[in-house]
Structure 1
Amino acid sequence: MAELFSEEWMQSFKEHWNSEPELSDALAQINFNSVIGYGFPGEDKPRGVITIENGKATAAGAYNGETMNWDLRATEEQWTKWMSKPPGMMGLGAAFTTGKIKFVVGDYKGMLKDPRMAGPFIKSFSVMGRA
């Protein structure tokens, strides 16, 4: 298995993102466009980044200075836990409240209030587990 958020891992994540209708098709319905970074707390920048255009992942790889719409951070242990057992809405809310997931960039509360975004966000954790 490739190192979490490495170039190789992000490319695999991109392929799995696009093959998951509950993620890519659901986001395409709301014309979702975003650049999402993933990494670990305490680091200056995200490790990996994925670019989404109309719900589909169009680019993915190591972070290279892109401007983020979302920058998500959690410990490697926490990411791994979520990949094997994705959190539900309650679990994600608790993780945000307790600081297990940090949004360096992005409107967490706004996203959770929009079920068209919240459902696919939660689905992204199980898709990560396939990468």
Structure 2
Amino acid sequence: MAKLFSAEWMNQLKDAWNGEPDIKGKLAEIKFNSTITWGFKDEENPRGIIVVENGECVRAGEWSGESPDWDLRADIKDWLKWMEKSVGMMGLGAAYTTGKLKFKTGDYKSMIKDPRMAGPFVKTFGLLSKIGADERG
């Protein structure tokens, strides 16, 4: 199993993303393009990155200075918890409201109000439990 947010792990996320029509296909319908970084709340910089073009994840790996459109952060214990037990819309809302999930960049509130983006976002968190991870990379 790969270390969380390592290049290997991010590429597993890329493959899972592209293999999920409810993510890739739905985001392609709205021509979704974005650079999304992932990491830990206690660190200044993110760890991993995916680049999405027209819904398809075209690049994944370790963050190397790119400017994200979305920067998702949480504590290691929360990332691992979400990998053990998939989290749905209510769980993500609670995680955001309580500060367990932070958006260092990106507007969670506007995204979650748009069903064309909210559904794929929640399904992305479902991928975490399929991938799993070792401890912090």
TM over 0.5: yes
Equivalent AA in structure 1 for residue 70 of structure 2 = W
CA-CA distance at 1:84 after TM superposition:
2.7
Q: Deviations over 1:46-69 (max 9, x none)?
A: 000000000000000000011100
Identify which of structures 1 and 2 has the higher relative contact order when contacts are C-alpha pairs closer than 8 Å and 6+ apart: 2
Partner of residue 68, structure 1:
68
1:25 is the counterpart of 2:25: yes
2:79 partner amino acid = W
- The residue that corresponds to 2:135 in the other structure is none
Q: CA deviation at 1:87?
A: 2.0
Structure 1 residue 71, shift from structure 2 partner: 0.2
Q: Residue by residue, what CA displacement relative to the aligned partner does 1:6-59 show, whole Å, maximum 9, x if unpaired?
A: 011001110111001111111111100000000001211100000000000000
2: distance between equivalents of 1:81 and 1:64? Answer: 27
Q: Match for residue 38 of structure 1?
A: 38
Task: Give the gaps of 5 or more residues in structure 1.
Answer: none
For the aligned residue pairs, the C-alpha RMSD in angstroms reads 0.9
Deviation at 1:97, TM superposition (A): 1.0
Q: TM-score, length-normalised on structure 1?
A: 0.96
**Matches of 1:74 and 1:30 in 2, distance apart?**
27
TM-score under structure 2 length normalisation? 0.92
Asked if structure 2 preserves the Cα contact closer than 8 Å seen for 1:13 and 1:130, the reply is no
In the TM superposition, what is the alpha-carbon distance from 1:125 to its structure 2 partner?
A: 1.0
Q: Deviations over 1:70-120 (max 9, x none)?
A: 000011221122123222222111111110000000000000100110010
Task: Classify the secondary structure of the residue corresponding to 1:52.
Answer: strand
In the alignment, the residues of structure 1 paired with residue 21 and residue 64 of structure 2 have an alpha-carbon distance, to the nearest angstrom, of: 28
* Counterpart for residue 116 of structure 2: 116
Residues in 2 aligned to 1:83 and 1:26: alpha-carbon distance in whole angstroms: 23
One-letter code of the match for 1:87?
Answer: V
CA–CA separation in structure 1 for the residues paired with 2:130 and 2:91:
20
**Amino-acid identity (%):** 56
Q: How many angstroms apart in 1 are the aligned matches of 2:84 and 2:25?
A: 23
For 2:67, the aligned partner's letter is: T
User: Could you list the runs of 4 or more consecutive aligned residues of structure 1 that deviate by over 4 angstroms after TM superposition?
Assistant: none
Which protein has the bigger strand share?
A: 2
